[in-house]
Structure 1
Amino acid sequence: MKLILNADVPNLGAPGDIVEVKDGYGRNYLLPRKLAVVATRGAEKQVEQIRRAQKAREIRDLGHAQQVDSQLKNINVTVPAKASDNGRLFGSITPSAVVDAVKAAGGPALDKRTVDVPGHVKALGKHQVQVRLHPEVTTELTIAVVAR
């Protein structure tokens, strides 16, 4: 099955790449998750548009990644969550919640796929999360989980 990737898929390719995959992998995994579209003549013409959109969202180079890293070190990130009286959360903290909290704190726009929340953050307090900004730049971000 010939597909055009919409997102970065590990061990397969980057957005805009035209790849050949087995039918089951494409039909059951890539297409339902909107990670790829079927490669038709019309879709192949849109490859450049997909690549331009991806370039606008990603961190441009190592210097830009280091600049974003310094911005992240200078902000205090507070993630509000519903919690019980003893400090346990109803649910857990997700990467998208961390991205929203960084943006609310005045930080740079991040992609939720670059944020690694270790295990499940299920308690109030301070926690460390990793943010992969560039293949050579990974930063630790301290988040404070508070009750709503």
Structure 2
Amino acid sequence: MKVILQEDVSNLGNKGDVVEAADGHARNYLLPRGLAKEATKQNLNNLEQKKKSKQKQKEEERKEAQKKAEELEGLVLEIAVKAGDNNRLFGSVTSMDIADEIEAETGEKIDKRNIDLDENIKNLGVKPVDIKLHKDVTATVKVKVIEA
């Protein structure tokens, strides 16, 4: 019996998959528990519509991220920090500091976890920093650390 899975089922498939299940397994286990529904013509059409809708939403999210990336690309953030001898900072510049500075300058709220910073910045100078806005879209900003 062909069924459309409503949940992930081990040894059978993932949510949204159309799979062939044994008749007894489908009637006695999958259907009564709401783990699957019969693959009728109407249910298959509904599934196709949901997939198209989800794909369209993902494309819109990617376009939105691309638009944000164009705004952020080439942005130079100036962060003033106290420094000691040999241009070493007292403390460091973290991804949270960079996220706060981006929000102050552009009004865009960026999650600190999306800022790709290998390690905190501990010296004065300019350093390029990547910001992941989407799995396919990354923007690069320059962080200029100056002495306060």
Residues in 1 aligned to 2:85 and 2:107: alpha-carbon distance in whole angstroms: 30
CA–CA separation in structure 2 for the residues paired with 1:115 and 1:90: 22
Question: 2:90 matched to 1:98?
Answer: no
For residues 8-64 of structure 1, the C-alpha deviation after alignment (integer angstroms, 9 at most, x for no partner) is xxxxxxxxxxxxxxxxxxxxxxxxxxxxxxxxxxxxxxxxxxxxxxxxxxxx60111
Scaled by the length of structure 1, the TM-score of the pair is: 0.55
What is the alpha-carbon distance in structure 1 between the residues aligned to residue 131 and residue 74 of structure 2? 15
Distance 2:85 2:102 in 1: 26
Opposite residue 123 of structure 1, the aligned amino acid is N
Contact kept? 1:72, 1:107, Cα under 8 Å: no
Using the aligned pairs only, state the percent identity.
33
Letter aligned with residue 120 of structure 2: H
TM-score (normalizing by structure 2):
0.55
Shift of the alpha carbon at 1:120?
A: 3.0
Divergent runs of 4+, >3 A: none
5+ residue gaps, structure 1: 1-59
CA contact (8 A) 1:116 1:131 kept: yes
Q: 1:74: how far off?
A: 4.9
- Give the greater-gyration-radius structure (CA): 2
**Does the C-alpha gap of structure 1 residues 107 and 77 become closer, same or farther in structure 2, counting only changes over 3 Å?**
farther
Given that 1:78 and 1:145 are in contact with CA atoms closer than 8 Å, whether structure 2 keeps it comes out as: yes
**Is the 2:95–2:120 contact (alpha carbons within 8 Å) kept by the matching residues of 1?**
no
More helix by share: 2
User: Is the CA contact (8 Å cut-off) linking 1:72 and 1:108 kept in structure 2?
Assistant: no
Q: Which runs of 5+ in 2 are unaligned?
A: 1-59
CA RMSD, aligned part only? 1.6
The alignment covers a number of residue pairs equal to: 89
